[in-house]
Amino acid sequence: MRLNVDGLEIEVTRKSIKNMYVRVRPPDGRVTISAPYRMPQRQIEDFIRQHRLWVDRQRRKIIDAHREGLARIGAVPEASRDPAAGKSAMSGGAGAPYHSQSVEDGERPTDPALIWTEQRRREAAAVIESALPALLGYWGPIIGRTPTHVTLRLMTSRWGSCTPSTGRIRLNLQLGLMEPRFLEYVLVHEMTHLWARGHGAEFQRRMDEYLPNWRRTRRELNRQAIV
């Protein structure tokens, strides 16, 4: 099903889901929406209008990258957003110093669709590295501590980890191919471990203060496959 919303062509797919998800796909900025079976068309159109600025911004990024010869099939991660994502800290805050590197951790799947090529690693790392200064600049003053190093890894069993004694945080490189809110949640989660080592009362109290909906985001993230 195709819709034209104020001049923007949208490809709509009906699914057995509860929320809508809009995605901007490389290399040409094609916009797609996954929507519940019974959701009225008017509600879909209103959702697009509500998020039009975000959609246009993502389309410009993808199209510009393609024009500059940087977009490659299977390399540029698609941008996505859902109505429950809320305001992201990625849009504000000053940059913060950090060091990052990309390394591998464990075996990778043999399915060609899931293989991490060098191009895909570079692109995923670029997405995270471009977001980190704003995220650290925003959350550092709120949390009161910042990592000494941020390392990007291809992990097989977790989304992130922290060593409080050294201030080092490791993030799963796959977060660079996912919705920005997941990267933000994992970073805040690991930065909170700079105060609280485990997941006890102190950790939960701080997370409730920083990200009131963190439990929901954690559940949604844990439904994703780590590849």
pLDDT, tens digit (0-9, with 9 covering 90-100), for 172-214: 999 998 888 899 999 999 999 999 989 999 999 999 999 988 9
Residue 69: per-residue pLDDT: 45
Same domain for 111 and 209: yes
Range with the poorest average pLDDT among 29-33, 48-52, 186-190, 208-212: 29-33
Give strand pairing partners of 4: 9
Number of domains into which the chain is organized:
2
Q: Residue 68: which domain range?
A: 2-81
Is 48 a domain residue? yes
**69: buried, middle or exposed (CB in 10 Å: 19+, 13-18, 0-12)?**
exposed
Domain final residue pick, 46, 63, 81: 81
Using CA atoms, how far apart are residues 76 and 68, in angstroms rounded to an integer? 13
In a domain, 19, yes or no: yes
Look at residues 81, 114, 129 and tell me which one is the last residue of a structural domain: 81
Q: Give the side-chain half-sphere CA count within 13 A for 143.
A: 26
Q: Which two tokens stand for residue 17?
A: 């889901």
Q: In whole angstroms, what is the distance from residue 73 CA to residue 70 CA? A: 10
Q: Tell me which of 15, 48, 81 is where a domain ends.
A: 81
Alpha-helical runs (H) found in the chain: 41-50, 52-67, 118-143, 180-192, 201-210, 214-222
d(CA 18, CA 34): 10
* Shared domain check, 207 and 102: yes
Domain CATH code at residue 128: 3.30.2010.10
**pLDDT in the model for residue 17:** 83
Q: Which carries the bigger pLDDT value, residue 227 or residue 179?
A: 179
